[in-house]
Amino acid sequence: MTINNLVQGGLYVALLIVLAWPLGSFMARLYEGKRTILDPVLGPFERLLYRVAGVKPEVEMNWTAYAGALLVFNLLGFLAVYSLQRLQHLLPLNPMGLGPVSPDSSFNTAVSFATNTNWQGYGGETTMSYLTQMLALTVQNFVSAAAGMAVLVALIRGLARRQVETIGSFWVDMVRSTLYVLLPLSLVLAVFLVSQGVVQTFRPSQTVTLLEPARDADGKAVTEQTIAVGPAASQVAIKQLGTNGGGFFNANSAHPLENPTALSNLAELVSILLIPAALCFTFGRMVRDERQGVSILLAMTVTLVGFYGFTASAEQAGNPMFAAIGADIGYGADHPGGNMEGKEARFGIAQSALWATATTAASNGSVNAMHDSFTPLGGLGPMVLMQLGEVVFGGVGSGLYGMLVFAIVTVFIAGLMVGRTPEYLGKKIEAFEIKMASIALLAPSGMVLAGTAISVVTTGGVAGIFNPGAHGFSEVLYNLSSASNNNGSAFGGMSTNTPFYNLLLGLCMLVGRYWIAIPVLALAGSLARKKAVASGPGTFPTHTPLFVALLLAMVVLVGALTFLPALALGPIVEHLMMTAAA
């Protein structure tokens, strides 16, 4: 770790917390139905939406109705995205005349954007029309993020309420999340990104003359280059704020028209974790104990900082095989040292490692460097962050409700250790809650391991693996971890836009989203029906450093026991092979 790495990481965390606190307070008022500063402007439009949709905002739902509304809404979103891809050649705003997307790729992409994963097995600028990018993908960026926030709010109400059957209205929570949080923030960020040079236009791709002619693989002279453009800034803004991550361009946030400057890089990087961090403060406010939210935020931040330090150190150390042949990989005044392969020179190691850590801590998945080009241990850090269940900040809403599931399991185990019925925020944790928590924690992990095993022993899976040995296994493990935990980032070096991987990864994304969200809603309904239990001498406090330490230990322990054998076959053995060869 260099001083540069430490300073940039420290400033980022400080800026994130400073911005998250007021946003968290605003969202607490919003979800409690209190008046906010945006009500005079957006209130009439919100009420108009309810009237048009036939929604009665005062009518709340029990958890089964809430879950049913979530599933129906997401199913309709899936069908819309699939249809737009298959019909885009017949629809307007397709200046490049792109044809229909294949059925298997359309299925994978529709599942990906409906589940807030935003895994992309295609190149956006060469596959999707402007209409598909805007009406299918960008719209899902908003509503899939809002759905995650709605599920979280339902769980918070379950913890805060006493002896009631309802946990709110899914439709109201969706509208308020989109209208009052995601849209205003995206508008501000999009305008800022345009000022930095992110493209926003309906013009077709532009052809320019090269300053220096080049030659192609066949030796023919190349004098012109086609530069893809399009309405990118509006999609980039919500892809970051909604922890979506799907890039307008294939190179994602490493593309100079999607992330052109140091300021745009900082703004996009802060946006990744802004809402997840703010929701911790929202949680504290809504349960009437801000210390609870701060303790969760502290656990997330400590984990993030630790993994950033690990990843940045591994990348700064570089590849010892280069040093063995006389290359200078040390940090100096005139060069960054370390491992710069696959990284943008304008961002360097610090910003690349910080982005890789933030994007996999959240279920964002956007990249400003090629993770496949990281050192084995540098790639291990982002991979493990996903395998922890995307609870270290995680997706908007989904990260915090995943961490709250871990908190419930933590107090249950702590209660067993002292021989007392465990309680969390005054609610007894009993058999049903632990069953639901177990499903939420184990289902994605099972899909990672099962999917990886299937991929490396079947013809369709092996056909997509181009790199032999440990690194090829690491690529498979990373990609299955990404899909099953709704992240969306990828190790390159594999061909995943095939019927086999489009179907397998699509199924993983469905399990990773709904086999967590539905048990969480069941938890919310069960907790809402419980009466409050008075705190006593045996009550385990859940706002202390001891609880933070136990919560972190639980998160790491579950991840280590589940994935250590697989990691040993991939990045760990690859690192040992690299150092032995040096």
Burial of 429 (0-12, 13-18, 19+ CB in 10 A): buried
Mean pLDDT of 442-452: 96
Residue 457 amino acid letter:
V
**β-strand partners of 424:** 427
pLDDT of 64 higher than 70: yes
pLDDT value for 324:
83
Mean pLDDT of 55-65: 96
Instruction: Please state, in angstroms and rounded to a whole number, the distance separating the CA atoms of residues 341 and 370.
Output: 8
Is residue 217 assigned to a domain?
Answer: no
Is residue 333 assigned to a domain?
Answer: yes
Is residue 220 assigned to a domain?
Answer: no
Instruction: Please state, in angstroms and rounded to a whole number, the distance separating the CA atoms of residues 215 and 150.
Output: 53
pTM for the predicted model, two decimal places:
0.95
Is residue 216 assigned to a domain?
Answer: no
- Which residues form the domain of 488? 3-209+226-581
Mean pLDDT of 233-237: 96
Report the percentage of the chain scoring pLDDT > 90.
85
Q: How far is CA 263 from the centre of its chain?
A: 22
Mean pLDDT of 540-556: 92
Is residue 221 assigned to a domain?
Answer: no
Say how many CA atoms lie within 13 Å of 517 toward its Cβ. 33
Can you tell me which residue has the tokens 């009550």?
A: 539
Instruction: Please state, in angstroms and rounded to a whole number, the distance separating the CA atoms of residues 493 and 500.
Output: 16
pLDDT value for 559:
84
pLDDT of 1 higher than 80: no
Count of structural domains, the chain? 1
Instruction: Write the DSSP string, 223-249.
Output: EEEEE---B-HHHHHHHHHTT----SS
Residue 190 amino acid letter:
A
Give me 397's structure tokens: 């809403």
Is residue 214 assigned to a domain?
Answer: no
DSSP H/E element including 481: helix 469-484
pLDDT value for 528:
96
Burial of 242 (0-12, 13-18, 19+ CB in 10 A): buried
**β-strand partners of 556:** none
Query: What is the CB neighbour count within 10 angstroms for residue 296?
Result: 26
Is residue 218 assigned to a domain?
Answer: no
Is residue 537 assigned to a domain?
Answer: yes
Q: What is the pLDDT of residues 157-167, one digit of tens each?
A: 999 999 999 99
pLDDT of 256 higher than 90: yes
Average pLDDT, the chain: 94
pLDDT of 420 higher than 90: no
Mean pLDDT of 554-580: 92
Mean pLDDT of 228-232: 94
Instruction: Please state, in angstroms and rounded to a whole number, the distance separating the CA atoms of residues 566 and 322.
Output: 27
570: closest CA among 382, 316, 352, 379? 379
119: closest CA among 252, 298, 256? 252
